A and B are shown apart, each in its own frame.
Chain A
Amino acid sequence: MSAAPVPVTSDVDDPSIRAPLVLGRQNFATVSDSVSTIVERKAPKTWFLLLGLALSILAILGGSLVDLVWKGVGRWGNNHPVGWAWDITGFVFWIGIGHAGTLISAILFLFRQKWRTSINRAAEAMTIFAVMAAGIYPAFHVGRVWLLYWVFPFPNQMSVWPNFKSPLLWDVFAVSTYATVSILFWFVGLVPDLATLRDRATTRTRQIVFGIFALGWRGSHRHWLNYERAYMILAGLSTPLVLSVHTIVSFDFAVSVMPGWHTTIFPPYFVAGAVFSGFAMVLTLMIIVRKAFGLEHLLTKRHLENMCKIILATGSMVGYAYAMEFFIAWYSGNDYERYAFVNRAFGPYKWAYWTMVSCNVICPQLFWFKKIRTSIPAIFVISIFVNIGMWFERFVIIVTSLHRDFIPSSWGYFRPTLIDISTFFGTFGLFLTMFLLFLKFLPSIAISEVKGVMPAADPHHHDDRHEAHEGLTGGTGNEDHHESDPEAVHA
């Protein structure tokens, strides 16, 4: 093995020489170290500052919900003719954000995309917190939130069962299954890393707490055998699940007979939009996290660039869906359908429509340029634009289809109330608080998985095993492995 220094970079253009997944002179121990020390050291000042900010925003959510429950759902601006507005917009927005996490953890796993290993843990956490934020809306929209369990079929003295033909009930099953499976998948992934933290623990508390949650994991290969199979099955289950969740969310609209909602393109269009928005959120957060916690060698530019490519692909699908919706509205020959779409683009909500188009269709096209895909400030700005655009997409679909009903006496213009705005703003507080707590108290990068994709992890790695193991695994991974078993080395 030649130990010639290779520049620490991930900008390798030759496809036969893939950019390394882990940069610098890393070995197994340094990977454990760089992730575990985040949990073990005292948190940086910025973390406390951000947590304070997040908790204040969370308090706004608390206040808004208390007000909402105390005085009634009328505190939101939903009213005839716009009976569904910011609440369902926020719900669909957050559920969509969650989808990237599952896509990264499940779909990229099935496709053997090894670059997912350093982002999947945080992305899965993001999924869970986004679904929590999303759940707030339907939970509080029922009015009497303490009776929320009525959505589930359970034997009761009224002898009634829910309406199984309603997409809203399908939503209950889809979202609760999604939340449950995401948590199970996430926890399964965490166990070996919690065992690492348990074994490194220097304090008794840490040893006990991590010890309990690590379930006595001892890295036995007989266990790994079942574990890997379980991981594969959970990935296989999550893949159709994540597609079904946004499909069923889109049924909330598509199964109705509202012009602008009643379209068959909705399921794939919603799924593409969800992945699009979710990756944007992952990028926004990862750019901050890698900088704040010094994880640039594990979350490399290549990871960011790959995510930009997914944003470009899904953004183009979303743009295609926007165009196709218009075409079908015209082609259907249905006057109401045509009117709904002309009104969407040129009616009173045209400002929202064109904000959506600029953010979702035009902005991501910039990722065709490698310069932009690899410029961190540019990625950060574009990812935020995409987040904004995707919120507007849901707002446009929901509000513009409702605000002009079939007869002009049922026309109106929706304006959000203060509580609408503060509830939505507050959900960011919930999301950020949970995410910050996660970053501080749990391994934010999948330690065992990252080790598994390092060149030295391959049992048929090299004759010169010791040298390879001691270091140089990332930087020099290119020249000495691609003859023997390129797949085992690079994603």
Chain B
Amino acid sequence: MPEPKKKSKAHALVGYFDTPADLFHACETLRDEGYRDFDAHTPFPVHGLEHAMGLKPSRLPWIVLACAAFGLGGATLMQWWMGGVDYPLNISGKPAFTLPSSIPIMFELTVLCSAFGTFFGMWGLNRLPRFYDPVMKHPSFGRATDDKFFIAVEAKDSKYDPEGTRALLEKLGAKELTEVEP
């Protein structure tokens, strides 16, 4: 039975690596050690890092699928009701509502709604815009969008232990390890 860990006031322990490979290795180690509430902050998406971190695939496609269905259904209903029922126009004796002539707008509105779903769905899943996050308090955090590969282990993680986690990350080669306040 492990003794209860010391409560820490910090939000997270933040440090960085120089290369994607070091970060990748560190994430794999943390995952294997049983950490869950940790995140990597990188200047570009490091290929395959989600596996090293043990993350589940994005749920975004389901949101987009729902929006696409809404767009397709909406466009069909709109053209049928407006052009076929409410205000039928006789153009060269052609039927007021037909499927072939409705396809271009059905397609365009499907794409439009899906694109909105993707755009807003992605920001929604990411909880952005949010202009502040405690990890930004790390003195070198600006380089996370330039050339350094940050790791942030949150204090709320059940495995988190100020000394133990720090020692682990130091062993993995993390630099400038700093505990950031919430």
Residues of A participating in the B interface, judged by any CB pair closer than 8 Å: 27-29, 32, 153, 159-167, 169-170, 173-174, 177, 180-181, 184-185, 187-188, 192, 195-196, 198-200, 211-212, 215-230, 233-234, 237, 240-241, 244, 248, 251, 447-449, 451-452, 456-462, 465-466, 468-469, 488
Contact = CB atoms under 8 A, between A and B. Distances in A.
A164 B105 contact: yes
Contacts of B131: 211-212, 215-216
Interface in B1-58: 18-24, 39-50, 52-53, 55, 57-58
Nearest to A32: B146
B118 A230 contact: yes
Contacts of B22: 465
A451 B97 CA distance: 51
Contact of B43 (A159, A196, A234): A196
Interface in B114-159: 114-116, 118-119, 121-123, 125-126, 128-133, 135-136, 141-147, 150
Contact of B145 (A177, A196, A230): A196
B101 A160 contact: no
B169 interface: no
Given A218-B133, A230-B121, A234-B115, A248 B104 contact: yes
A163 B108 CA distance: 16
Contact of A488 (B47, B79, B101, B114): B47
A457 B18 CA distance: 11
A52 B61 CA distance: 46
A164 B108 contact: no
B43 A219 contact: yes
B31 to A, nearest CB: 12
A202 to B, nearest CB: 11
Contact of A218 (B18, B136, B146): B136
B71 to A, nearest CB: 10
B51 to A, nearest CB: 10
Nearest to B101: A165
Given A28-B147, A216-B132, A448 B44 contact: yes
Nearest to B84: A164
A199 B142 contact: yes
18 contacts: A29-B147, A164-B101, A165-B94, A170-B105, A188-B119, A200-B142, A218-B41, A221-B49, A221-B50, A225-B57, A226-B126, A227-B45, A460-B24, A461-B19, A461-B21, A465-B18, A465-B22, A469-B18
Given A153-B78, A196-B43, A220-B39, A226 B122 contact: yes
A358 B42 CA distance: 50
B41 A219 contact: yes
B108 to A, nearest CB: 4
Contacts of A469: 18-19
A198 B58 CA distance: 27
Which of B22, B144, B145 has the most chain A CB atoms inside 10 A of its CB? Answer: B145
Contact of B20 (A161, A180, A459): A459
B42 to A, nearest CB: 5
Given A219-B41, A233-B114, A459-B49, A199 B122 contact: no
A173 B109 contact: yes
Interface in B71-96: 78-79, 82-83, 86-87, 89, 91, 94
A184 B47 contact: no
Contacts of A163: 83, 89, 91
A173 B108 contact: yes
Q: Which 9 A-B pairs have the closest CB atoms?
A: A28-B147, A199-B142, A215-B129, A459-B24, A230-B122, A161-B82, A170-B104, A224-B45, A229-B58
Interface of B: 18-24, 39-50, 52-53, 55, 57-58, 60-61, 64, 78-79, 82-83, 86-87, 89, 91, 94, 97-98, 101-102, 104-105, 107-109, 111-112, 114-116, 118-119, 121-123, 125-126, 128-133, 135-136, 141-147, 150
Contacts of A32: 43, 145-147
Which of A219, A241, A451 has the most chain B CB atoms inside 10 A of its CB? Answer: A219
A177 B49 CA distance: 34
Which of A165, A184, A451 has the most chain B CB atoms inside 10 A of its CB? Answer: A165
Contact of B118 (A169, A217, A234, A466): A234
A459 B46 contact: yes
Given A159-B87, A165-B94, A221 B43 contact: no
B112 A177 contact: yes
A219 B145 contact: yes
B42 A219 contact: yes
Contact of A173 (B61, B104, B144): B104
A203 to B, nearest CB: 15
Given A216-B132, A459-B49, A165 B83 contact: yes
B116 to A, nearest CB: 8
A448 B144 CA distance: 11
Contacts of B147: 27-29, 32
Nearest to B142: A199
Given A218-B133, A230-B122, A456 B19 contact: yes
A287 B143 CA distance: 31
A224 B79 CA distance: 38
A369 to B, nearest CB: 37
Given A177-B111, A215-B129, A28 B60 contact: no
Nearest to B59: A226
A484 B57 CA distance: 26
A199 B45 contact: no
Contact of B39 (A216, A221, A466, A468): A221
Contact of B64 (A233, A449, A452): A233
A459 B126 contact: no
A187 B129 CA distance: 13
Contact of A233 (B24, B52, B60, B126): B60
B83 A173 contact: no
Given A29-B146, A161-B86, A457 B119 contact: no
B44 to A, nearest CB: 4
